Amino acid sequence: MIAPTWVQLVFLACGVCFILALKGLSGPKTARNGNLIGAAGAVIAVAVPFFYKPDGVDHLHHVPLILAAIAIGTAGGVYGARKVQMTQMPQMVALFNGVGGGAAALVALLELHEHGDLFDWFPLAATAFTIVVGSVSFAGSVITFAKLQELMTSRPVVFPGLPVIFGGSFIAAAVLSVMLVNQPHLWIGVVLALLGLVVGVLLVMPVGGADVPIVISLLNAFTGLTVAAGGYVLSNTVLLIGGTLVGASGTFLTLLMANAMGRSVANILFGALKGGSTLGGGEASDRPVKSAGPEDVAIMLNYAERIIIVPGYGLAVAQAQHSLRELVDVLSERGAKVDYAIHPVAGRMPGHMNVLLAEAQVPYEQLKEMDEINGDFKDADVVLVVGANDVVNPAAKTTPGAPIYGMPILNADEAKQVVFLKRSMRPGFAGIENELLFEPNTTLLFGDAKDTMSKLLNAVKAL
């Protein structure tokens, strides 16, 4: 497809928009504008084919149908994006990523069907890559979605023959790709797509508990690379640049995230296959703990000078962030120094907790990152752990073999008093018991966080 020069220049400009978008998205002040620039680039790029004669045809065919399809997709996308709760953001990203991967695979299949016989070996290899990896991304994202939405167990799913089936599908995909390069038949492409789906499912199934969001990020990078390969097949710079940007930055981001959890990506993906260690307990223990009512905790907070809040996923689920913000305001007014300690993987995705607290209008300055505040815990009078668990679990330091072993944690155990707000003795996402719950200076305040938090707020106000 040779496009006229002005089209090529517009596409280059759209590629630049994507660069500026990523650049913007990596700074808090510029993030929103960055996203808008990216959207502008994307919209312009998509509008272009309606205004020139692509690939020898005198005009774009099926324009009404295409516009209708875009309208349907847009409506669905906007609806989903508007309705989703902030706690469900990871699932949403996974789903959007999956459909993108699926679309890339379909585009590659079509291109194979239409022009495959004219292709050289290199474009054919890129086509095979796009079909397989796009399907992997699609199927993997769907499973990820199911796990996070609790449509299926979030624990690792492993069965005896899994590594064999996985390896077999992988090899079959490689062999078929080579076949496709030699003879560009559509059926080979279709089989490749099906194999990709199998590989995608098998890739994500054994990934357990705490690690699913890393997989989302990885699949996101995969989709980026498939789009880049698709751009090569279609000779389209904007697809190539946009896809490559996402592929490269996504891969890097995945490494950053895995790093924040103290894990390697290989370990996350294949750890469960080697058996064992990601399979934590999961049932509630009945060892004795110290529990208290909101009034007792209120008194404790009232006399504390230095308070650190550790918010976690449960805070978000309970939608207790607004009452928490209010509680913090009251306590600060009374002279206590209160900060939020944000663990990088608190919540279900890195940076997720910041989004949730930002939603509740917590001032940015009160949010302290882990490295910044970890030294302060030993001076804290009270640490209030609201719906968090794994991110303060000392097993990460003390129990080799625990699924979170090696992950840096917040040193809540060093504080004078620790108060947990949770509903039960059930463990967190990683499925392992938290020794800190049984320590003598730990107090539990049972109940749904939203409910206990407002009781606590009233009790503090009453003092």
Ligand X SMILES: NC(=O)c1ccc[n+]([C@@H]2O[C@H](COP(=O)([O-])OP(=O)(O)OC[C@H]3O[C@@H](n4cnc5c(N)ncnc54)[C@H](OP(=O)(O)O)[C@@H]3O)[C@@H](O)[C@H]2O)c1
Which residues contact ligand X by CB under 6 A? 210-211, 213-214, 257, 261, 312-314, 317-318, 345-350, 352, 387-391, 421-424, 426, 428-430, 448-449
Given the residues 381, 390, 413, 448, the one annotated as active site: 390
- The partner in contact with residue 5, picked from ligand X, another protein, none with C-beta cut-offs of 5 to 8 angstroms by kind, is another protein
Residue 76 interacting with another protein (CB under 8 A): yes
Choose between 142 and 432: whose C-beta lies nearer to another protein: 142
Per-residue string for binding with another protein, 236-255, x by CB under 8 A? xxxxxxxxxxxxxxx-xx--
Q: What is the 3-state secondary structure (H, E, C) of the chain?
A: CCCCHHHHHHHHHHHHHHHHHHHHHCCCCCHHHHHHHHHHHHHHHHHHHHHCCHHHCCCCCCHHHHHHHHHHHHHHHHHHHHHCCHHHHHHHHHHHHHHHHHHHHHHHHHHHHHHHHHCCHHHHHHHHHHHHHHHHHHHHHHHHHHHHCCCCCCCCCCCCCHHHHHHHHHHHHHHHHHHHHHCCCHHHHHHHHHHHHHHHHHHHCCCCHHHHHHHHHHHHHHHHHHHHHHHHHCCCHHHHHHHHHHHHHHHHHHHHHHHHCCCCHHHHHHCCCCCCCCCCCCCCCCCCCCECCHHHHHHHHHCCCEEEEEECHHHHHHCCHHHHHHHHHHHHHCCCEEEEEECCCCCCCCCHHHHHHHHCCCCHHHEEEHHHHHHHHHHCCEEEEECCCHHHCCHHHHCCCCCCCCCCCCCHHHCCEEEEEECCCCCCCCCCCCHHHHCCCEEEEECCHHHHHHHHHHHHHHC
In the region spanning residues 194 to 223, those forming contacts with another protein, defined by CB under 8 A, are 216-217, 220, 223
- # binding residues, another protein (CB under 8 A): 131
Stretch that binds another protein, among 80-88, 308-316, 399-407, 413-421 (CB under 8 A): 80-88
Give the nearest distance from C-beta 285 to another protein in angstroms. Answer: 32
Residue 403 interacting with another protein (CB under 8 A): no
Choose between 60 and 194: whose C-beta lies nearer to another protein: 60
- The partner in contact with residue 27, picked from ligand X, another protein, none with C-beta cut-offs of 5 to 8 angstroms by kind, is another protein
CA nearest to 196, candidates 160, 223, 157, 229: 223
Give the nearest distance from C-beta 201 to another protein in angstroms. Answer: 18
Residue 372 interacting with another protein (CB under 8 A): no
Give the nearest distance from C-beta 126 to another protein in angstroms. Answer: 9
Give the nearest distance from C-beta 240 to another protein in angstroms. Answer: 6
Task: Kindly tell me the sign of the dihedral angle through the C-alpha atoms of 30, 85, 208, 388.
Answer: positive
Give the nearest distance from C-beta 294 to ligand X in angstroms. Answer: 13
- The partner in contact with residue 294, picked from ligand X, another protein, none with C-beta cut-offs of 5 to 8 angstroms by kind, is none
- The partner in contact with residue 358, picked from ligand X, another protein, none with C-beta cut-offs of 5 to 8 angstroms by kind, is another protein
In the region spanning residues 259 to 288, those forming contacts with another protein, defined by CB under 8 A, are 260
Known catalytic residue at 448: no
Single out the residue of 228, 265, 391, 432 in contact with another protein (rule: CB under 8 A). 228
In the region spanning residues 93 to 132, those forming contacts with another protein, defined by CB under 8 A, are 93, 96-97, 99-100, 102-104, 106-107, 109-111, 113-114, 122
Give the nearest distance from C-beta 446 to ligand X in angstroms. Answer: 8
- The partner in contact with residue 175, picked from ligand X, another protein, none with C-beta cut-offs of 5 to 8 angstroms by kind, is none
Stretch that binds another protein, among 56-64, 383-391, 394-402, 423-431 (CB under 8 A): 56-64
Give the nearest distance from C-beta 338 to ligand X in angstroms. Answer: 19
What residues act catalytically?
390
